[in-house]
Structure formats: C-alpha cells, structure tokens
Amino acid sequence: MSTTIGVISLKGGVGKTTTVANLGTVLANDFNQRVLLIDANFSAPNLALHFGVVKPEATIFDVLIDKISMNRAIIKHDAGFDYIAGSLINEKTDFDIFQLRKKIDLIKRNYDVILIDTSPTSSNEMLIAMVASDELLVVTTPDYPTLSCTMKAVKMAKKKKTPIIGLILNKIRGKKFELTTEDIEDIAETPVLAILPDDISVLEALSITTPATLYAPDKEVCIEYKKLAAALIGREFKDPRIWFRMKQLFNVAVKGKAEKHEVNREILKEER
C-alpha cells in the first residue's frame, strides 16, 4: 500500500523542502522504495531548484488545471526517485481542494511513498496538500516563534483529521538557549521522530544542487534522515558508527533508556 506523506510547517525556512528532497533520496537510494515527490508549494515552488532544475517543462499546476497528465509531469532523478516540480499559481486560480488528492489517486499504485512539499501558509494552498496527504510530518526548529507556528499547524491538521506521524526537529545547535525535545513534545503534544543538527554540509549540498544525503551521507543529519526513513516504512537501519552504538548502550545502562526520538522511532516502526 502506498502512503502519501505531507511535510508541513506554518513557517518558511525551517527545512521542509530539504526534508522532502533528502527523505526521498534515502527512501529510493538506500531502501529501494518507489518514491514520488510533489512540490505543492505554490507560493515558493523550489523543490526542483534543489535538484538543479530552474525552469521545469511541466509542473503540478499544469496537472491541476488538466492541461497534462500526472505521468507527463514526472521528472526522473538520478538518485532513483521521481518528482513533479511546482510553479507559482495565478491568484485568480481557484482549485477544488480535493483536486491534488484526485490526481495522486490516479498514479498512487505506482509508488510506495509519495512525499508532498507544502507552503507555509494557512490558506487553501496548505489545505490542498493536507487533504491530499494520508499522514503528516511537521518540521520545526527549537525556538518559540517556530514552535508557536508548529502548534498552529498541529491544530489545523487535527481539525482536518489528517493524522500527524510526528515532528522533525531541524537545525539543532545543541545550545542551552534552545528548547529541549521534551519541551517541544509536551507543548505540541506530538512525538519527535528526528533531531537534525544544523550542518553546513546541507548548505554546501544545496549549492551544488545535490541532496545532502548523497553529498555527505555519513554526517549525523543524513544518518538521522536514514533512521527516520527506515521507521516510516517499518524497516531497520543500523547506525554504522561504532561510537554511536556505544553511546546508545551507555544511555540504556546509565539513564535506563535510549534517547527520546530513538524510542519514538522504535514505536513507529512497530506500528508500521
């Protein structure tokens, strides 16, 4: 069964597009999944830019206005996934909010996982993506303004009855002033599934339009993407770093449990 996962936040610049690009890369490249990424951010459509495509020949907008079929809009990436680029929409364009879902239903059986990149607005744009998603991942950073937006996104998803799988904490610097995982989980009432460090490799990778998980696959941020991808499809990913496994053993021996996001991923994996 194919799953459509929307990657949302009500704030720009937190890492939605980066997450879609990298989860897509590892799901296809490391876990052999059939993956489709869709850029449904109609205000700042830049998923294709992450892959070096400046002017895509066809976009999801052309599909939504019935100009072309889904299959004709699909672009193949060397990492093994397919994607459909986005484009700005004419303000006067008024879509049926079920339109994206209907289009996805036509090609859903061709994929194991479909990831939707979304717009950080609480307008119809976000609704279209939410309605098209079976589940949602919410990206947040460890500061109050972003957390406040995250809570709004969680509330909106609950109202629309689209289940939230969990939160992705991005751009973590490990500083004392940052909100802790526990604070964020308590306030948002949603489990944290990945803790992604702020890493310059992500920016370096973007500058050469290559997903970070291909450019620097052994970095912590990329290993976290692999662990999250594995949990999303109920698979195992063994951390190749010996020191990490030692740290995990230490946590279990001394603190009596593994780190929170590791535990949450285990629970998710079992549910899948």
Ligand X SMILES: Nc1ncnc2c1ncn2[C@@H]1O[C@H](COP(=O)(O)OP(=O)(O)O)[C@@H](O)[C@H]1O
Binding stretches for ligand X (CB under 6 A): 9, 12-18, 170-171, 196, 198-199, 202-203, 206, 221
Nearer to ligand X by C-beta: 107 or 164? 164
Q: Which does 221 bind (CB under 5 to 8 A by kind): Mg ion, ligand X, none?
A: ligand X
The HSE-up count of residue 214 (CA atoms within 13 Å, CB side) is: 21
Provide, rounded to whole angstroms, the least separation between the CB of residue 47 and Mg ion. Answer: 7
Task: Give dist(CA 180, CA 202) in Å, integer.
Answer: 22
Provide, rounded to whole angstroms, the least separation between the CB of residue 184 and ligand X. Answer: 16
Nearer to ligand X by C-beta: 141 or 190? 141
Cα diameter, the chain: 61
Nearer to ligand X by C-beta: 18 or 29? 18
Nearer to Mg ion by C-beta: 16 or 265? 16
245-15-156-95 Cα dihedral, nearest 10 degrees: -130
Phi first, then psi: what are they for 210, rounded to 5°?
-125, 135
What's the one-letter identity of residue 26? V
Closest CA to 87 of 128, 46, 49: 46
Nearer to ligand X by C-beta: 107 or 193? 193
Provide, rounded to whole angstroms, the least separation between the CB of residue 139 and Mg ion. Answer: 10
Subset of residues 15 to 74 that bind Mg ion, contact rule: CB under 5 A: 16-17
Q: Which does 80 bind (CB under 5 to 8 A by kind): Mg ion, ligand X, none?
A: none
3-state secondary structure of 33: coil
Subset of residues 1 to 20 that bind Mg ion, contact rule: CB under 5 A: 16-17
Residue nearest Mg ion (C-beta atom)? 17
Provide, rounded to whole angstroms, the least separation between the CB of residue 67 and ligand X. Answer: 26
Provide, rounded to whole angstroms, the least separation between the CB of residue 46 and Mg ion. Answer: 6
Provide, rounded to whole angstroms, the least separation between the CB of residue 258 and ligand X. Answer: 22
Burial 134-154 (b: 16+ CB within 10 A, else e): bebbbbbbbeeebbebbbebb
Q: Which does 203 bind (CB under 5 to 8 A by kind): Mg ion, ligand X, none?
A: ligand X
Do 108 and 34 touch, CB atoms closer than 8 A? Answer: no
Element (H, E) at 271: helix 260-271
Q: Which residues pair with 116 in a beta bridge?
A: 6, 38
Question: What is the end-to-end Cα distance of the chain in Å, rounded?
Answer: 11
Q: Which does 6 bind (CB under 5 to 8 A by kind): Mg ion, ligand X, none?
A: none
Do 19 and 218 touch, CB atoms closer than 8 A? Answer: no
Provide, rounded to whole angstroms, the least separation between the CB of residue 206 and Mg ion. Answer: 11
Nearer to ligand X by C-beta: 82 or 199? 199
Number of residues that bind Mg ion (CB under 5 A): 2
Task: Give dist(CA 2, CA 150) in Å, integer.
Answer: 26
Binding positions for Mg ion, rule: CB under 5 A: 16-17
